[in-house]
Chain A
């Protein structure tokens, strides 16, 4: 199972690795504190590969330099065969209803998850894949 985590809070990324490990055991987890780097990774890693298992992407919104919304604008320009291999989730500390609504309105967003990430959330995501 593959996970990508894009969040400028290093502590959150460490926590996510631990929670994923506790939920499903060994998994392939890539973390990026810069959204730009995450985007570059996606573009190079998934290009030309045949769609296999879905990769789950947890995206933070409130980031410096490139925030979650800007990331989604750039993501929109990627090739369809790349995007078809990913399932996107917002992982935000904000429980604010406006943030939730805005996140859910985006066509690439499967769901809006309020931090902290929990084992049960990972189980339900995997069950829905």
Chain B
């Protein structure tokens, strides 16, 4: 501690002064002319982050060396210059804002800016005894000023460089006061050409005439802000669609200071917007037109359906329930529309065709599908033949089938007639061929024998035994000839068509009759019968033919029984949707079908030479079955037995 500081301290040490310094808000430091610090205000201590003991009695420049981190810092040198200036000229000195960084007790360096004022204090003899050093921390102000400066620079940079936006200012009268690069880019004017001009320079003549520029300014001033779009004019006279925002800046007294104007060329966007609008309008028009067309086509479709001369209906896909029927269907079938709608299309079908109808209509095809010819019944029971055309459609939003039912009854009957004639002709031809065969073989055989015998009779050297033998031969051959003629007569009789009336006949009664007539043999040979007509006993047929068929087959089963086995004959009927099947099965000697082929039912075909027979029975059976509209088939195995299956169809 120096001598001067000690004396200064004692001289200065005044309790009131210290109390004053402790309580003043400013930062003060009191120095002796040799820069020894003798007192500091509390605010100074706080700002400099020092304790009073670190200050009082110490040299200013020893306590505050310059911030070594701040290369540009010249703070303490400037302070020394200022203090020396005050000592030399004995006048106060205000220093420029100094940067002087502070070190925190933890050693961290804080950037600080200071405003410094040094004032000399004189005694009565006008000797400078102290310097009052006033310090103000202006870091915040400096930093704020800096930020404002940077912000302003940035804004002006942006304004100058934005090309897409015209950013400029108008004064309260609407005259242009500033101009940016974007404004030049969009409008074509240079700043020098435009500043001072009235804002209407950008408006079209028409808008000017209408007073739009004035109106816009008025609105912007009144409301503070105006957003608008419209045609604006460039320097070269070309026009563009502008999006404009006017913002009014007011003085404190509410009067208008300026108006900022930001505008943008949105001609392209607008064009696109207009195009979209136009497209939308076109589309809307199309939708309206299409809807009208659909309505029209729906009406046409409805008319096509309702007034079609052919019966048509819409049915669902599951149960073929009627959903809609046209007038022709009502007229043709005799059911009312209400009756139709309570029915299924299956109700129109013949019983035996319903399953086929279901299958035929379960089609995946979407196009029209001809599902063929069907038997339908009208309400009055009349059978008609219809050709069905099916088309997938929708009815009240659900999948459905549109069916066109073309009555082809006349065509079908003509076709059936034609087919019958054709098959009859084919049959006749076959019959003729068969007749020729029978003539050449079966009829000619006894005739040839008679011829031979009568020639032999002419031999002059005949003895009595020869004559007897020849006479026997002639007799046998004549009998044979008679049999064949009788067979042919019977066959031709059956083939010429059914003679007599059909009636309800019971299988059980016919079989009982036959068993009765064969009673003697049945008892003698212990023939067993198993009969079951529970499924179908009655049939509408020609009784004499069915009797003959059953008689022939039963007597065949007895005739061709096994010699060393009990003969058992099983007779039963089966009922089907389309008719009745008659089965006659035996456990007899059977036949080898590989040899017989299709000759089983042939006339004068015989397969058991050891057993009496002319080969007429089965031929007769087949002829009679066919005359009744049925078919006959046989299965047989040697030593197992034979089974005949006769199918009689229900007649419509």
Chain A residues proximal to chain B, CB less than 8 Å: 8-9, 11-12, 14-15, 18-19, 22, 33-34, 62, 64-65, 92-96, 99, 114-119
For B446, list chain A residues within 8 Å (CB): 11
Give the contact-size bracket for chain B: 20 to 34
Majority SS of interface residues in chain A? loop
Complex interface residues of chain B between 32 and 55 (CB less than 8 A to chain A): none
Among candidates B436, B451, B609, residue contacting A64 with C-beta atoms closer than 8 Å:
B609
Q: How far is the CB of B595 from chain A (nearest CB, A)?
A: 8
Chain B residue at smallest Cβ distance from A21: B466
Roughly how many angstroms separate A95 CA and B441 CA in the complex, as a whole number?
8
Asked whether B449 lies within 8 Å of A15 as measured between CB atoms, the reply is yes
Asked whether B609 lies within 8 Å of A33 as measured between CB atoms, the reply is yes
The 0/1 profile, CB within 8 Å of A marked 1, for residues 419-455 of chain B is: 0000000000000000011001100111111011101
The total number of A-B Cβ pairs within 8 Å is: 78
Name, among A62, A92, A93, A115, the residue most crowded by chain B CB atoms within 10 Å (CB to CB): A93
Roughly how many angstroms separate A24 CA and B606 CA in the complex, as a whole number?
35
Asked whether B473 lies within 8 Å of A14 as measured between CB atoms, the reply is yes
Asked whether A12 lies within 8 Å of B449 as measured between CB atoms, the reply is yes
Asked whether B459 lies within 8 Å of A22 as measured between CB atoms, the reply is yes
Asked whether B440 lies within 8 Å of A95 as measured between CB atoms, the reply is yes
Instruction: Kindly state whether residue B79 has any CB partner on chain A within 8 Å.
Output: no
Chain A residue at smallest Cβ distance from B462: A22
Asked whether B452 lies within 8 Å of A115 as measured between CB atoms, the reply is yes
Name, among B444, B451, B606, the residue most crowded by chain A CB atoms within 10 Å (CB to CB): B444
Instruction: Kindly state whether residue B498 has any CB partner on chain A within 8 Å.
Output: no
Q: How far is the CB of B183 from chain A (nearest CB, A)?
A: 119
The 9 A-B pairs with the shortest beta carbon distances in the complex, nearest first, are: A116-B452, A64-B606, A115-B448, A93-B445, A94-B440, A15-B452, A93-B444, A96-B440, A116-B448
Asked whether B456 lies within 8 Å of A15 as measured between CB atoms, the reply is yes
The 0/1 profile, CB within 8 Å of A marked 1, for residues 209-221 of chain B is: 0000000000000
Roughly how many angstroms separate A34 CA and B470 CA in the complex, as a whole number?
23
Among candidates B436, B437, B452, B609, residue contacting A117 with C-beta atoms closer than 8 Å:
B452
Roughly how many angstroms separate A92 CA and B449 CA in the complex, as a whole number?
11
Asked whether B459 lies within 8 Å of A11 as measured between CB atoms, the reply is no
7 CB contacts below 8 A, A to B, read: A9-B445, A12-B449, A14-B472, A14-B473, A22-B459, A93-B447, A118-B452
Roughly how many angstroms separate A11 CA and B446 CA in the complex, as a whole number?
9
Instruction: Kindly state whether residue B11 has any CB partner on chain A within 8 Å.
Output: no
Asked whether B456 lies within 8 Å of A19 as measured between CB atoms, the reply is yes
Roughly how many angstroms separate A99 CA and B455 CA in the complex, as a whole number?
25
Instruction: Kindly state whether residue B360 has any CB partner on chain A within 8 Å.
Output: no
Asked whether B449 lies within 8 Å of A11 as measured between CB atoms, the reply is yes
Asked whether A18 lies within 8 Å of B445 as measured between CB atoms, the reply is no
Instruction: Kindly state whether residue B572 has any CB partner on chain A within 8 Å.
Output: no
For A114, list chain B residues within 8 Å (CB): 448
Q: A11-B473, A93-B444, A116-B455 are in contact. Are A18 and B449 (CB under 8 A)?
A: no
